[in-house]
C-alpha cells in the first residue's frame, strides 16, 4: 500500500486512522443512551458502526491494490447504473420518505444512500472524460454542455428527492473539477448566474426546505436560532476548552437531534472541548494536505483530476458539516466524514482514500521507472 517516498501516503493513512478511532469512540458515546432506550442494548449503534468501519477498511485496502485506471475505465457503466437507481427512487413505491426525503434505498437487510455512490461515480467519470486530452486545455462550449448534461443526470434526481444539500455540494464539486481541467471561467459564471435563481425558487417551494432557509435567515438577523442550531451551540459552549469528558454529554439526552450522525461535531465540542474540535479540524487539514501532495506527485491528468475530486469530496463535506453545526449554513443533513454514524458515506470515503493511495503508488512506480539519461531505460542503481 505504501510506496517509496511515501510520506504523503503514510500521513494520509495516519490522519484517516485517527479520525476513524475518534469516530468509533464518539459514536458510542453519543448513541449509547438512545440505543439503550430504543433497543435495550447500549452497544447497538456501536456494533453496526464497527461492522461498517471494518467493511470500509477492507474496501480501502482493495482499492489501494487495484490500479486506479480500472475504476476510471468502468466509471461510465457504474455512473449509468447509479443514475438509473436515483431515478427509480423518485417513483418506486418501495422507497419510503424519511423526513420528507426519499434518500435511502433498502435492499434486503441493507439500507444505503445511492447519492453517495453516484457522487463517487461522477468524480470517476469526469476524471476519465476531462483527462482524456492528457493536458489541461481550454474546453469548448460543446465539451462544457456535454459534461453539464452528465452532471445534471446526477444532481437533478438528488435535488428532486429532495436532498438540496447533497445536490448543491455535488454540483459544486463537479464544477470545481471542470475548472481544474481547463473549463472556461465565463462558462461557469454564466451557469451560476442562470441557475442560482432557479435553485432558490426550488428551495422555497419545498415546505421543510423553505422553513429551514427562513429560520436560517431569521437567525442571521438576530431573531433567534432554530432548535438544532441552538442545541449545537449549547453543546459547544458547555464543553468549553477541555470538554466535560467522554460520555458526559447532556445534549445527547434528547436535546440535540442526530447527535451521532449530522451533529456529532457538537458532541465533539461538548465532550472534548475546543481542544477536541481543533484536533478534528487539524486532522482534516492534514488529510487534505496529504491528498494534494499526492495530486502534485501524479503526472497523469486523469489521475490528478481524480485525486483532487476525492480529496475535495472529503474536505467539502467536512467543512459543510462544521458550518451547519456553528450555523454558518442552514441544516442540510450532511454527515461528518469518518466521524458520523452511517454506512454509505463512510464506505465511499474509505474507498476514495484507497484510490488515493493507489494513485500515489502508481506515481512512485512511474518516477522510479522514468529514464535518467538519453538512453537510460532501467531503474536507477540501488532501486
Where do the structural domains in the chain lie, given as residue ranges?
7-366
**CA 375 – CA 353 distance, rounded (Å):** 37
> What pLDDT is stored for residue 223 in this prediction?
66
Cα angle value 318/308/321 (rounded, 5°): 10
> What pLDDT is stored for residue 182 in this prediction?
85
> What pLDDT is stored for residue 375 in this prediction?
46
Q: How close are the terminal C-alpha atoms of the chain, in Å?
A: 18
Asked, as a colleague might, if the bond just before 162 is cis with ω within 30 of 0, I would say yes
**CA 189 – CA 147 distance, rounded (Å):** 15
The residues with which 105 forms a beta bridge, in sequence order, are 112
**CA 256 – CA 233 distance, rounded (Å):** 10
Close Cβ partners of 52 (under 8 Å, ≥ 6 residues apart)? 342, 343, 346, 347
> What pLDDT is stored for residue 86 in this prediction?
94
**CA 195 – CA 317 distance, rounded (Å):** 22
> What pLDDT is stored for residue 4 in this prediction?
47
The residues with which 106 forms a beta bridge, in sequence order, are 111
CB–CB of 197/143 below 8 Å? Answer: no
> What pLDDT is stored for residue 383 in this prediction?
37
Nearest to 55 by CA among 3, 20, 22: 20
Taking the chain (383 residues) in runs of 10, the rounded mean pLDDT of each run is: 61 96 95 91 93 96 96 97 94 74 79 92 96 74 91 94 89 94 86 84 68 68 72 90 92 89 94 96 96 93 96 96 89 89 92 96 79 49 41
Amino acid at each position: 500500500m505504501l510506496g517509496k517516498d511515501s510520506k504523503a501516503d503514510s500521513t494520509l493513512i495516519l490522519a484517516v486512522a485517527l479520525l476513524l478511532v475518534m469516530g468509533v469512540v464518539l459514536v458510542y458515546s453519543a448513541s449509547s443512551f438512545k440505543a439503550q432506550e430504543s433497543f435495550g442494548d447500549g452497544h447497538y449503534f456501536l456494533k453496526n458502526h464497527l461492522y461498517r468501519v471494518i467493511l470500509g477498511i477492507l474496501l480501502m485496502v482493495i482499492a489501494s491494490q487495484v490500479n486506479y485506471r480500472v475504476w476510471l475505465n468502468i466509471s461510465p457503466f457504474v455512473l449509468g447504473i447509479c443514475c438509473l437507481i436515483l431515478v427509480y427512487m423518485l417513483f418506486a413505491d418501495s422507497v419510503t420518505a424519511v423526513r420528507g426525503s426519499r434518500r435511502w434505498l433498502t435492499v434486503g437487510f441493507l439500507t444505503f444512500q445511492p447519492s453517495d455512490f453516484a457522487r463517487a461515480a461522477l468524480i470517476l467519470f469526469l476524471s476519465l472524460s476531462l483527462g482524456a486530452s492528457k493536458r489541461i486545455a481550454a474546453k469548448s462550449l460543446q465539451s462544457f454542455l456535454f459534461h453539464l448534461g452528465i452532471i445534471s443526470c446526477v444532481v437533478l434526481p438528488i435535488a428532486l428527492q429532495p436532498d438540496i444539500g447533497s445536490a448543491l455540494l455535488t454540483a459544486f464539486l463537479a464544477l470545481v473539477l471542470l475548472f481544474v481541467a481547463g473549463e472556461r471561467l465565463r462558462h461557469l459564471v454564466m451557469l451560476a448566474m442562470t441557475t442560482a435563481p432557479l435553485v432558490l425558487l426550488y428551495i422555497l417551494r419545498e415546505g421543510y426546505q423553505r422553513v429551514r432557509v427562513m429560520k436560517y435567515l431569521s437567525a442571521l438577523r438576530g431573531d433567534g436560532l432554530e432548535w438544532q442550531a441552538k442545541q449545537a451551540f449549547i453543546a459547544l459552549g458547555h464543553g468549553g476548552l477541555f470538554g466535560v469528558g467522554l460520555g458526559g454529554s447532556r445534549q445527547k439526552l434528547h436535546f440535540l437531534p442526530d447527535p451521532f450522525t449530522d451533529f456529532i461535531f457538537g458532541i465533539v465540542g461538548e465532550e472534548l472541548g475546543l481542544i477536541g474540535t481543533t484536533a478534528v479540524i487539524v486532522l482534516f487539514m492534514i488529510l487534505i494536505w496529504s491528498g494534494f501532495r499526492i495530486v502534485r506527485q501524479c503526472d497523469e491528468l486523469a489521475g490528478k483530476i481524480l485525486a483532487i475530486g476525492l480529496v475535495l469530496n472529503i474536505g467539502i463535506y467536512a467543512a459543510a458539516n462544521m458550518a451547519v453545526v456553528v450555523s454558518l449554513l442552514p441544516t442540510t443533513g450532511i454527515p461528518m466524514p469518518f466521524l458520523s454514524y452511517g454506512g454509505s458515506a463512510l464506505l465511499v470515503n474509505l474507498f476514495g482514500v484507497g484510490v488515493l493511495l493507489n494513485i500515489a503508488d502508481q506515481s512512485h512506480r512511474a518516477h522510479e521507472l522514468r529514464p535518467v539519461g538519453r538512453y537510460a531505460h532501467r531503474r536507477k542503481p540501488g532501486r
